[in-house]
Structure 1
Amino acid sequence: MAVVICAPRAFTVQSSNNSTTAPATNLNLDHPSMVWRSSNLSSVQITVQLPAGSWDTVCLSGTNLRATDTIRIRAAATAAATTSAPTYDSTAVPAFSGAANGGGNTSLVLTPSVRTETFIRIDITSTGNPATYVEARRLIIGKRIEEDGIDLNAEHSFEDNSQRTEFRNFETVDPYDTKTSWKFNIGYVKEASYWSNWFPLLRDVGTKKGLLFVPDSQSVYLQSEAVFGRITSSAKGSAVSSDYYKLELYVREI
């Protein structure tokens, strides 16, 4: 069991299979209605370029993929080399495994070591998808922070901001999507990890940027548990001993 948090790095799209109204550039945006959608189910791929730096996590959030679909990640120093001579190849793996909810699925690939390639290609096979296209809300590529796990008594909430107006003998509702959220502690973070990893990440994202939160990267319920969201109240760290910190976070789905 491991908790994973990863802030997405900015990227530029080099090539993609996409519809004209839902381009792959939308995958760079923290906006749930700005999605990427392929034009068909034939040769579905996205190739992106990262600035120089490291990464070890690739995630497509909010997809319509199924457990029978596959995703393949390849990386190289040039866009052409991602197919001709990739220096990293995940091979075709299931888009996800285990139980799934009815939407908001998360395809997550954690590389076993830190990578530095600047071109990443994602190939998706989704034969027979009833939607006739592949869709995703956000592409997260970045360097993850991984800790042993979240503390007991973490709160998982369902937040519905629909507007309800009551009148005599009837009520009207302006419906909004129900969002999930997590309020949790990570009880024992080593001092070195707190200042080297968590401090720069939390100072950068604040409450304005999205990040990926996975309570348990090995959970059969990852599709329902994982959240791409924002920290909605100030993150808090407190020293619990001479070498350990406790983190308190509240992440709400975008």
Structure 2
Amino acid sequence: QLPLTAEAMANEAAACVAAGAAELHIHPRGMDGHESLAAVNATVLAVRQACPGTLVGVSTGAWIENDVERTRAAIASWRELPDYASVNLSEADAPAVMVLLRQRGVGIEAGLANIADTERFVALAEHSRVLRILIEIDIQNLMAALDEARGIAAVLERAGVRRPILLHGVDATVWPFVELAHQKRWSTRVGLEDGKTLADGTTAKDNAEIVAAAVAIFRGAPAV
């Protein structure tokens, strides 16, 4: 059920918005099905046409192009600019990518996977010039993941960072993090990118079903 083409992503995006998603985070893919920063133009355009007025974001992960210069060149060549792009502070070229995104007028979602990433982020001279903070932890032990999230939040607090926070879980932490985000009044993100099951462990039929379950939690209803 993972959408791999611009058309499929646009259709899935519309279904997610109908299910209650406030914005969209997509991973454009080329003709070969692999993630591609060159595919951003066509995919963002298709999603915008399907979901007018909805914020659309993409990833700039180093694994996508697997080459610093190709990554920078692809971002510089974007014609259909996303509203925001995630930048992983664990990646060596993150500061330069952030500068390039600012130059292009694209909002920055600063991705923090651990406390070390957070300390690197707050040390940047222009760390306050981001759209928001993305806390995305891939630790599968729930208690360890919760400790890391608390540690990240503590570093941000000590540094006086006052940007919105989005908490994003992976597999075992998806639904506990949705609950925590709700409690903290943070944003959250769910979908087949990082988890294919609902809170009860059953496999979701598509992204929209996962979104609907998360929206139910934020609206105070039991998870489906």
The question of a shared fold, defined as TM-score above 0.5 by the shorter chain, is answered with no
TM-score norm. by structure 2 comes to 0.29
Bigger helix share: 2
Bigger strand share: 1
TM-score norm. by structure 1 comes to 0.26
Structure number with larger C-alpha Rg: 1
